[in-house]
Amino acid sequence: MNLVEQLETRTGAMKVSELSELLGVDDKHVYRMAARGRLPSFHVGGAVRFDPHEVANWLRSKYGTDTGVRKRAPRGASSARGETSSAA
């Protein structure tokens, strides 16, 4: 099951710690993205919460209709086709 499908099966609001674990990022990163309006969120009292279906839609809009989220290759990694750069 991919990330978007995992989000869509959830019910109820998600806490920052739950979403950060699912996304594989630090809590502070999730707080910053929510505060800047880059990640759909809402407040309950003083707590930040996330609707898992809204987050799934956000991921789709950010990464396309393919429900799998593509990760960037680490800097300095060779390409998938095995090409290497050479300094001559």
Question: 20, 5, 18, 13: which is closest to 56 by C-alpha?
Answer: 5
Token code pair at residue 84:
């290497």
Task: Decide if 71 is inside a domain.
Answer: no
pLDDT tens-digit map of 15-63: 999 999 999 999 999 999 999 999 999 999 999 999 999 999 999 998 8
User: Residue 80 pLDDT > 70, yes or no?
Assistant: no
Return the amino acid letter for 73: A
Task: Decide if 84 is inside a domain.
Answer: no
Largest CA distance in the chain: 62
Q: Is 56 exposed, middle or buried (0-12, 13-18, 19+ CB in 10 A)?
A: buried
- pLDDT at position 81 is 45
The tally of domains found in the chain comes to: 1
Angstrom distances, CA of residue 85 to CA of 20, 80, 81: 36, 13, 12
Task: Decide if 55 is inside a domain.
Answer: yes
